A and B are shown apart, each in its own frame.
Chain A
Amino acid sequence: MRFTFLISLLPAIGASIAWAETDLATDNVPIAAPAYQEFCINVMSGFPNDDQIARYQFFKLTQELGVDSSPMLTSALDYFGDHTVTADTPVMEVIETIANPVLRQAAPELTIANMAFLIDFANVCDSYIAGQVTGLKALNPQLSEAEFNSVISEDALYMRQILSDSLFRINAQDHEIFGPTVRAYADALVTTRDRIEFTKFENDIESIEAIFMTDLDGRLARSNDVINQEMDRETLASSIEIIDEMNAEAKRKRKQEALYTLSRILGGY
């Protein structure tokens, strides 16, 4: 059976409590519970290790697959999935099975089980995955690029959509206990799709902004330089020289006038 601490047939409530207890238990350990360490390492060994980009894509994709998953959903997947994926199954094989259009139509339970395996791995080994993602980003800054990551998010959304479609194909949405969870998951996909599309839109706008702002800035700077060359500060300097001369002349004239006035007054007197 799948690697989970949940007993698949436990009622949903019981499963939630079990998950919560496990969470509490893991509070005492720094990375992951030792019980899952081997599982995590086993699964991760199936990830590409000769190419940073491919390795990052796999880890990031897995991380994104865990989004919006709740204990109830995990229980639902355990309940509806009908296949055992072992820890040593190469992750590539798991993904290919999920993406296989024939299997999706003919055996949705198989698709669900494979997705459940990946979601479970994303949840249980989240610290390992986050560590790998951060480490790879530090090694290769290109991996932080928004556009690159948005492609991975879209792939993850596509796979989650396959899961949701598979659940609906077997009418899981009408299940008495798990139905609301399945429907909520489908609704969350719409929100996530909106978010991803908006992020892509923002990335596109940011690119346009960068191009236009840089271009405008350059053009205006050049135009400013050209126009400022028209400015001849000598015009002002020569005006000021003329003003100085006029002022000196005015001073001389006033002095002369003062003397003349004085001599007239005093002469008359």
Chain B
Amino acid sequence: MKLNAFALSILSAGVLASGCATTAKGSSQSALMTGSAMQQLKTQAPAGGLLAVIRYPAVVDSAAKDAYRDAYTSSPIGGKISPATADSVEAQNMADSAIVKSNYFALSLYKEMAARLPEHTVLLSPHSVKLADDGSLTSEPITEAESLPSVVTIDFATYSFPDPKKMMNSEPLTFGDLVSPLVTVRTDHRAAVPTQGILLASQPLKSHAVGGNRKTVEKSLAQIEAGNLPTAIPEHDFISFISGDKQSSAPSQGLTLTGNSNAVQSYPVEKLQLNRTAMIQLNGDTQGIADPLKDIFSRPMADRIIDLINDTPVEKAAMMRRASAISQYDPSLAALTFVGSPKADYQSRYNYAQRLLDAERKYLSVQSLRLFDGIHNSEMGAQVRDMLTAEYGVLERRRELARKQNQATALAILGAVAAGASMGSSGSTERRCDRSGRCYEVQRPNYGQRILTETLINASIYAGTQAFAYRGESRAVGDNYLTSIVPALEQQTTVQVDLIDSNETITAIRFEDLREKLQTLYSENQRSLDTIATRCAYAHDGTTKSGTWLGECSGGMAAGSGVGVIRQANGTAIEYYGYTENGQPNGPGYMVVHNPSGSYSLEGNFNGGQANGTMRVSKPGKSDQIRTYKAGQDTGGASGTAKVMSPFDNRLAGS
């Protein structure tokens, strides 16, 4: 019986070590689908602008490769990772693979958005991950897509937890039929002041996205103070996240399709399991017809984005980037375009300038379409689909092995329990007495019972060793794939870089030509402006005259429409868009106030730099409120019929 106990103890240890295997399951329903209905676009693209730009990490600069891999593996989402694992080739392959997958799956979202929104209003903006001047990791757009105004930009990436040993566990994974998308949707901060422009964000990225936009706000203010219209573009939020950039807070709420409460919609990190039929269709699809991500993610995400576009004030979202784009052709006109003007000379010139941006937009949309075509519908896309199919095969094999392992483990446990019970009840006892009269009980062997116990133990040991073997095989299948796929992954990455580089080189050369031609045409056709935009002083409420004004000026002071920026001693920075007199806000205006603790906006009538009349107030975490102000003081709620004097009324009326 001692041997029995020994065998059982080995068995128990084995079973415990082997344990139950998880089968890398994902959710067949995205949180995006909850309460989601097909959304129709209810607004128009801004004049000369876009509705959406989809940004994704497409290329890692060779100098930034190590930094990117290190940052990726040291910022895991959904768990912890040991330094040794983080340094492994397999973990670094996971980081490289995230770029390849982001490139491919971003196109699914693009395809869906482009099909749902008007022609030429959705662009792709692939980002290059590189080292900034200070050596930190950053990303920059490769194309000019973000030089045009857009209502929203979407940062997309797919994610895999960097420890390949946890591939079969619950950690996020983009492999085979599993996809973990990371998304942020942002607009210009002027259109969503309380959240710094962030409308929706994957939970881990939220504070980095808000921080990234806050940084862009700072750059934007500094550029205006230097007399330029801002052109700053935030880095991709996923890169901002892994590089540990500065974070900022903003109120958040769950996913919603009802109204705007000036809070960031929080999107949980999901592990989506793609439809089995669609995965099978991927095999041998050389044309890019099958899109397994469409139903579970791209379509419901597109619905959310369209809903966000519908809720976003289009003109506020587009005004700065448009002014910046126009300033390339006509600096005198640019700062007048924030609020527009009914004057014929302005109207005429503005229409021409807007048409130039339309031409740029259409041209750049060709680039996006060809990027899509070159990656998705060609050999490269076919290879990604082959890769996904192979990964799916790996996962399915591992799932099968996990099931077998679980069955073997269950058998081993059952066998062990049964053997234990059998040992406990083995044989019968007999009472014997010796000559001295002492009596004792003797175990009387029951050979049948003993054979049964031994058989159960042997079966349990066999099942336990099988469970071990399945576990080992499953890991080997995963490791074999990750180590052997490297050449294909490298080739994929190289060709992808070549394609995007070539695409951008060709586009950029012709884009310069196009801009020159447009500039010539514009210059030949322009009539003079009665009033032009210049730079002068902005006095805000009159306590200081150190602010900067870009727009109509008179006697060195702001007088007319434009934009003003001023910083106060307490660290508050103020942006003002609208009408001025003697350097101070006067008439309809839109004031954006950035405190160290957060930002808010006031829209309505101003007198002598102070809010005066019915104002729309946007503060963090609350729906917009209509309030009455007198001499800068909030005197209470305004009646429902009270009209807010918006500086953008001219523009909304079509000017």
Contact status A233-B480, CB under 8 Å: no
Q: Which of B23-31, B265-273, B367-375 contacts A (4 or more CB under 8 A)?
A: B367-375
Contact status A247-B521, CB under 8 Å: no
Contact status A216-B506, CB under 8 Å: yes
Contact status B473-A223, CB under 8 Å: no
Interface assignment of A266: CB less than 8 Å from any CB of chain B: yes
Interface assignment of B639: CB less than 8 Å from any CB of chain A: no
Contact status B359-A209, CB under 8 Å: yes
Q: Which of A201, A239, A261 interacts with B355 by CB under 8 Å?
A: A201
Q: Which of B366, B370, B390, B506 interacts with A236 by CB under 8 Å?
A: B390
| B interface footprint on A213-230 (CB within 8 Å = 1, 0 otherwise) | 101110111011101111
Chain A residues within 8 Å of B369, by CB: 217
Interface assignment of B84: CB less than 8 Å from any CB of chain A: no
Q: B471: nearest residue on chain A (CB-CB)? A: A254
Q: Count chain B residues whose beta carbon lies closer than 8 angstroms to a beta carbon of A.
A: 65
Chain A residues within 8 Å of B3, by CB: 269
Interface assignment of B344: CB less than 8 Å from any CB of chain A: yes
Contact status A243-B366, CB under 8 Å: no
Interface assignment of B568: CB less than 8 Å from any CB of chain A: no
Taking the nearest CB of chain B, how far is it from the CB of A89, in angstroms?
A: 38
Compute the total of residue contacts between A and B using a CB distance below 8 Å. 164
Chain B residues within 8 Å of A257, by CB: 468-469, 472
| A interface footprint on B512-544 (CB within 8 Å = 1, 0 otherwise) | 011001100100010000000000000000000
Interface assignment of B222: CB less than 8 Å from any CB of chain A: no
Q: Which of B480, B499, B510 interacts with A227 by CB under 8 Å?
A: B499
Q: Given A233-B379, A247-B397, verify A197-B484 contact (CB < 8 Å).
A: no
Chain B residues within 8 Å of A262, by CB: 461-462, 465
Interface assignment of A265: CB less than 8 Å from any CB of chain B: yes
Taking the nearest CB of chain A, how far is it from the CB of B506, in angstroms?
A: 5
Chain B residues within 8 Å of A20, by CB: none
Cα distance A247–B461 when bound, in Å? 25
Give the bracket for the number of chain A residues in contact with chain B.
Answer: 35 or more
Chain B residues within 8 Å of A265, by CB: 7, 10, 461, 465
| A interface footprint on B467-488 (CB within 8 Å = 1, 0 otherwise) | 0111011001100110011011
Chain B residues within 8 Å of A261, by CB: 465, 468
Interface assignment of B378: CB less than 8 Å from any CB of chain A: yes
Chain B residues within 8 Å of A5, by CB: none
Contact status A254-B473, CB under 8 Å: yes
| B interface footprint on A237-248 (CB within 8 Å = 1, 0 otherwise) | 101101100110
Interface assignment of B348: CB less than 8 Å from any CB of chain A: yes
Q: Which of B173-181, B381-389, B558-566 contacts A (4 or more CB under 8 A)?
A: B381-389
Interface assignment of A41: CB less than 8 Å from any CB of chain B: no
Contact status A243-B480, CB under 8 Å: yes
Interface assignment of A202: CB less than 8 Å from any CB of chain B: yes
Segment 162-184 of A: residues with Cβ below 8 Å from B: none
| B interface footprint on A114-146 (CB within 8 Å = 1, 0 otherwise) | 000000000000000000000000000000000
Chain A residues within 8 Å of B476, by CB: 246-247, 250, 253-254
Taking the nearest CB of chain A, how far is it from the CB of B138, in angstroms?
A: 26
Q: List 11 A-B contacts (CB under 8 A).
A: A208-B514, A212-B517, A213-B362, A217-B369, A224-B370, A227-B502, A231-B495, A232-B491, A236-B390, A239-B484, A258-B466
Binding site for A on B (CB under 8 A): 3, 6-7, 10, 344, 348, 351-352, 355-356, 359, 362-363, 366-367, 369-370, 373-374, 378-380, 382-383, 386-387, 390, 394, 397, 457-458, 461-462, 465-466, 468-470, 472-473, 476-477, 480-481, 484-485, 487-488, 491-492, 494-495, 498-499, 502-503, 506-507, 510, 513-514, 517-518, 521, 525
Closest 5 CB pairs of A and B: A224-B374, A250-B476, A220-B370, A258-B469, A236-B488
Known contacts A236-B488, A254-B476, A257-B468; 13 additional CB pairs below 8 A are A205-B359, A212-B510, A220-B366, A220-B503, A224-B373, A225-B378, A227-B502, A228-B499, A232-B491, A236-B386, A246-B480, A258-B465, A262-B465
